[in-house]
Amino acid sequence: MKPLPRLFPLLLSLGLLLPCARAAVPPAAPRVLLYGEQHDQADQQRQVAQAVRELAQQRRLAAVVLEMAESGASTARLPAAADEAAVKDALRWSAAAWPWDTYKDVVMSAVRAEVPVLGGNLPRRDMREAMQNESLDRLLPPAINDELKTAIREGHCGLLPAEHEGGMLRIQLARDQSMARTVAQAVESAGPGRQVLLLSGAQHAARDRGVPLHLQQLGFKADDLFVTMFGQFPGDTLPSDRTLPALHSTGGTDPCEQLKGRK
């Protein structure tokens, strides 16, 4: 017996499932649309690329901000017909850190629609200063700091020395601040009714610890922001405004097993 096909129309009519063609497009009112993704799940980037295309077609999209490029990098001066090499050069893309094929559909969809793509991440040259910035320790409640340290520890496969966790947490928070500043500047430059989209990892997009918190410290209201997470991975437990289904989960070799195997 296969009950799902029979239930699908009912779930769709009740709004419990969204049509795939428009699943990633959020409401028109919020000024900032934040997408929290898992970097190795191709279906999530596919859905974001689709949202970029539809928002651009509706003339709602003012800019796309990426965690995957450093603050100061921009495609704003490029023509819509620019090739991928020119786009990567403008964004100072690091293929070692972020595989281009994973994100090129998001980026090129914006470029083709004449929507600027902006780097938002903390520049590498500023990381040492961030690690020494003790004021970052007081930005979040201690319980959230502990949760972030756990996420950092797990993200490093349990191999990060405990004495380095505090510095890595400061870098995480400084990166969120950098992305928030870039988003705020893009919103300020946007016309009425236009929206800025941020694509980042799930922890960076979460309402209780990530970029939304820093945007509110810059004067944004909670209603100015709309956070989308994707299901079927730990990010779907983070505070957001909606969780979209991850339609096709990408499997593969556990990177932690590979890393531990080298030690």
* Stretch 54-70: mean pLDDT: 98
Count structural domains, the chain: 1
Q: Assess if residue 154 is contained within a domain.
A: no
CB-facing half-sphere around the CA of 53: CA atoms within 13 A: 14
Q: Is residue 16 part of a domain?
A: no
Contacts 24+ apart (CB under 8 A), 1-6: none
Determine the pLDDT at residue 231.
Answer: 81
Q: 61 is written with which tokens?
A: 């999209």
In tens, the pLDDT along 108-125 reads: 999 999 999 999 999 999
Whether the CB-CB separation of 81 and 117 falls below 8 Å is answered with: no
Other residues' Cβ atoms within 10 Å of the Cβ of residue 137: 13
- Tell me if 218 is assigned to some domain: yes
Looking at the predicted structure, is the pLDDT value of residue 7 above 50?
no
pLDDT in tens, 129-157: 999 999 999 989 999 999 898 888 888 78
Does 12 have pLDDT greater than 60? no
Helices (H) and strands (E) in the chain, counts: 10, 6
Give the residues across from 64 on adjacent strands.
117, 197
Q: What is the CATH number of the domain that holds 189?
A: 3.40.50.11550
pLDDT of residue 262: 53
Q: Rg of the chain over CA atoms, in angstroms?
A: 19
When mean pLDDT is compared across 6-15, 64-73, 85-94, 181-190, the lowest value belongs to: 6-15
Residue 142 counted as domain residue: no
Give the residue numbers spanning the domain of 45. 25-123+177-245
Residue recorded with tokens 């990426």: 66
Looking at every residue in the chain, the average pLDDT score rounds to 86
Residue 151 placed within a domain: no
Residue 237 has what pLDDT?
80
161 domain-assigned: no
Residue 165 included in any domain = no
Percent of the chain topping pLDDT 70: 83
171 within a domain of the structure (yes/no):
no
